[in-house]
Amino acid sequence: MWNSLGKLIKTNITLSEFALMTHPNAPDPDELWMNEALELAALGQGYVEPNPMVGCVLVRDGCMIGRGYHQIYGGAHAEVNALEDCSSSGEVPQGSTAYVTLEPCCHFGKTPPCADALIRARVARVVVAVTDPFPAVDGGGIKRLRESGIEVITGVGADKSERLLAPYLKRVRTGRPWVIAKWAMSMDGRIATSTGESQWITGNESRYEVHQLRGRVDAIAVGMGTVIADDPLLTARHGGPRTPIRIVFARHRVPDLKSQLVRTGSETPTWIVAGPAIADSDLALLADHDVETMRCDSENSVDMVDEVLQRLAREDNLSGRPISNLMIEGGGGLLGSFAAAHQIDEAHVYLGAKLIGGLKSLGPFGDPGFPRLADATRFEIQSVQTFGPDVRAIYRRIKD
């Protein structure tokens, strides 16, 4: 008992966690330590993309002796930071168990292989939540560890880790970024009145949360209808780890040169997804304001969505870095096209405490829609929160 209490003090775990660990029906210690690694991994959200969020803890004799997470794109990985944390506290990693939320890498990228770092540290055991599908790894890290005599356990905390890693996993597995659709609507499902008035359906607290989300995604997309109606700036005005790229889907016309997006093109990256009918001369005028162009082969809105997503996820896109998280802020036409392409992975739905009414008042999604319920994309709820008088529900797509 006293030995267990000593571990409690050393690892700074809570009394409730201590009770769980010492109860006869206590959860698997591997699960508990993997949860700790997952909490660390989440701290990298918005900072490490397009790399995955990864956490690592080192444990020996029931005590955590080191912890770390991938903190910034291009920086040291979680395993290396955990080993350095262990050394800085005077501990020795030899003989310990490493809990890692994603398979340790086995290739030279921006940093050396993490599998080799664990081998050199002479850890005895590595517990991995998810195998990395990235082609340069894809089981190679696990194989290298096992060939070095290290015991490797996989699948611990896999569901939670896959949920956290969903944007990275989708991009690697499908060649498309994770798409977050956001919209605000009234209690009766309207995003604007019959005269087109939409500002503001929700309150300041909700809008603050939207800006927080903007500050952690790679890019924000809107359609030309939104540009004309709202003249948005599409920046994260409350800060955040990222400055999102602003993307406008323009099938037939481009933003006015006096619009906020064009006038600030030299300050914030701004891209136009141009349909084949748009004149080169119009795009040249935008280029004079540092607005870049991604020309599409098809004019069909659903085909454009699929083509653009594939190009955004590549390293040779206009930014030179793969996009992992794309946020769609409307309007109804663009949201409808993404829905029809079955490319909405997550939805942030804000419900304002207002009733608008009117048969001609707009809903959040336009054409083409689904003629049969059986064809509609299905979602499951993740969380519900209130912000002042508003409600936000976050949904995730159910895997087919």
Annotated binding-site residue numbers for Zn(2+) = 77, 105, 114
| Residues contributing to the annotated binding site | 77, 105, 114, 184, 198, 200, 214, 226, 230, 234, 237, 329, 331-337
For the record, the structure tokens of 125 come out as 């055991």
Cβ within 8 Å of residue 260, ≥6 positions away: 231, 232, 233
- Tell me how far CA of residue 62 lies from CA of 4, 57, 214, in angstroms: 9, 12, 40
Within a 10 A sphere around the Cβ of 266, how many other Cβ atoms? 11
C-alpha Rg value of the chain to the nearest Å: 24
Query: How is 119-187 classified by DSSP, letter by letter?
Result: HHHT-SEEEEEE---STTTTTHHHHHHHHTT-EEEE-TTHHHHHHHTHHHHHHHHHSS-EEEEEEEE-T
Alpha-carbon distance 120 to 114, whole Å? Answer: 10
Give the HSE-up count for residue 313: Cα atoms under 13 Å, Cβ half-sphere: 20
Q: How far is CA 285 from the centre of its chain?
A: 33
DSSP-derived 3-state class of residue 312: helix
Strand pairing of 379-387 and 270-274? Answer: unpaired
Is there a contact between 238 and 208 (Cβ–Cβ < 8 Å)?
A: yes
Is there a contact between 277 and 297 (Cβ–Cβ < 8 Å)?
A: no
| Residues contributing to the annotated binding site for substrate | 198, 214, 234, 237, 329
| Residues contributing to the annotated binding site for NADP(+) | 184, 200, 226, 230, 331-337
307 tagged catalytic: no
Query: How is 66-108 classified by DSSP, letter by letter?
Result: EEEE--STTS--HHHHHHHHHHHTT---TT-EEEEEEPPP-S-
Catalytic entry in 36, 79, 209, 346:
79
Would you name the residues annotated as active-site residues?
79
